[in-house]
Amino acid sequence: MWFKNRVLFMALIPGILVISICGVSLAEEEIELHELVQIATEKDPSVLRLDLESKALRQKSVADGQLMDPRIKLGVSAIPLDSFDLEQEAMTQQQIGFQQVFPRGSSLGLKRKKGEAFSREKSWMAQWEYLKIQRDVRLAFLEIVHLRKSSGIVRKNKKLFQQLLEISRSRYASGKEKQQNVLEFELAVSRLDERLVKIQEQEDSARARLSKWVPREMAFRKFGKDFPEFPKLLSREKMVQRLFLHPAVKAADSHIQSQDLGLQLAQEKYKPSWMLDATYGHREGRNPNGSDRTDVLSAMVVFDLPIFTENRQDRIQESERLKTQAAKFKRDDRLRQHKSELEVLLAKHSRLEERLKVFSTQLIPESRNYRKTTLSGYQNRVTDLTDAIRAYSVELQTQLNELNVRFQRLVVQARILYLVGDK
């Protein structure tokens, strides 16, 4: 028995190893930003809901553009109450009739077009929701990469701090350094450990926020070390023009169209609606001369008279006019907000570009030279350990500040692309 179990276990080892290796490779495989966006938008309930509502409204618009179903009437008229004999009176008829209602003016076509406009509005809102999810996933991704790169910078500088700490300890052992300075430097290194824990905490929180749109195992997958590259920004004039193509503005345009069609429908209420009635009557019995009584056919047209319009049609038309005007103001307000947001973002982007240039040409080289010069001076006993600690801290903070500016520039760029689109 023991031998059989051992043989079975040895046979299962290759399969276990394959599963383990596949699991490890999947966990270590880096996930790209476009994959996260695709996963987030494909299964998002808001996008799916709006898409289904758009399709439902399109189906309903077809039904709204059709005539009402015709009506058939069956009955008997002019039955004598004394005998209930269908042959007694010449007026008695067995009837079958047909009725068809025709709505006012062009109401059917306008209702269909209004439903189509509502459908387009929902479709644009779905695209708007897609852009918002794309923007939020991009921002979460940028934040995670920023924190990972920040952790890398701190770890790299921690090694430099530890090298200098070993030098200071060696000098303290030989009586060339104060204990207070060494303890201060050890405290500075410990602060770096605390900063790393804080950065990891922020990264975990950012990944947890990302799991709102993607599965948790995706949010906690390994990301690339570098920031993603976004499409190059267009000129300001072209970006302002593209604001008119934003799904939020297009949805507002569709809403205006539907309200305008509602106004046209209100104007159709001044026209009469019609009903055609055709009835065939069969008569039993005979005439006094012995001949069969002749069947009869009646046809009628029924229509309403919209002549008292002051408190009905006039009020409805004014209500629709005011709603159309309100929809136009809402659209203008949305466009104005987008223009204002774009101007603010473009101003930020320009200043961040200038700051990056200052960092790359001045602050980063100067802080590096400051640290190297101070280290050389410390080794040659020209400067003390406190100056060295300050120089190392300045270089670390300068690198983190430069990284933060690059991060903020990409955040601004992602928000601009949300307004003007990627293409």
Give percent above pLDDT 70 in the chain.
Answer: 92
Residue 278, strand partner residues: 98, 299
Q: How far is C-alpha 403 from the chain's CA centre?
A: 28
Which comes out higher in pLDDT, residue 166 or 398?
Answer: 398
Interatomic CA distance for residues 311 and 309, integer angstroms: 6
What digits encode the pLDDT tens for the residues 341-379?
999 999 999 999 999 999 999 999 999 999 889 888 877
pLDDT digits over 145-204, tens only? Answer: 999 999 999 999 888 878 777 777 777 777 766 777 778 778 888 888 999 999 999 999
Which tokens in the block code for residue 391? 């120089």
Residues 243-271, mean pLDDT to the nearest whole number: 95
Helix or strand run (H / E) with residue 173:
helix 107-173
First-residue to last-residue Cα distance in the chain: 68
DSSP run (H or E) holding 60: helix 45-64
* CA 413/CA 406 separation, integer angstroms: 11
- 254 closest CA partner among 124, 403, 98: 124
The continuous run of DSSP H or E covering 71 comes out as strand 71-77
Contact call for residues 252 and 118 (beta carbons, < 8 A) = no
**Stretch 297-304: mean pLDDT, rounded?**
93
Neighbours of 345 (CB within 10 A): 22
Tell me, what's the pLDDT at 23? 44
Are 390 and 140 spatial neighbours (Cβ–Cβ below 8 Å)? no
Q: Which pLDDT score is estimated for 28?
A: 57
**Alpha-carbon distances of 286 from 81, 174, 187, 294, 296, rounded to whole Å:** 20, 142, 123, 9, 14
The pLDDT score that the predictor gives to residue 265 is 94
The single-letter DSSP state of residue 175 is: T
Q: Which of 30, 8, 9, 2 is nearest to 225 (CA)?
A: 30
**Percentage of the chain modeled with pLDDT above 90:** 65
- Give the pLDDT of residue 287: 85
- pLDDT tens-digit readout, 59-87: 999 999 999 999 999 999 999 888 888 88
The predicted-structure confidence for 2-49, as pLDDT tens digits, reads as follows 444 444 444 444 444 434 444 444 445 788 899 999 999 998 999 999
Per-chain mean pLDDT for the chain: 88
Question: Domain 32-67+106-271+309-420, what fold?
Answer: Outer membrane efflux proteins (OEP) (1.20.1600)
CA 161 – CA 263 distance, rounded (Å)? 74
Q: Are 320 and 260 in contact (CB under 8 A)?
A: no
CB 137 within 8 A of CB 259: no
DSSP class per residue in 337-362 = HHHHHHHHHHHHHHHHHHHHHHIIII
Q: What is the pLDDT of residue 177?
A: 65
Domain boundaries, the chain: 32-67+106-271+309-420, 68-102+273-305
Q: Would you state the pLDDT for residue 21?
A: 41
Higher pLDDT, 6 or 261: 261
Closest C-alpha to 265, from 25, 65, 90: 65
Sign of CA dihedral 205, 211, 215, 220: negative
Are 315 and 343 contacting, i.e. CB atoms less than 8 angstroms apart? no
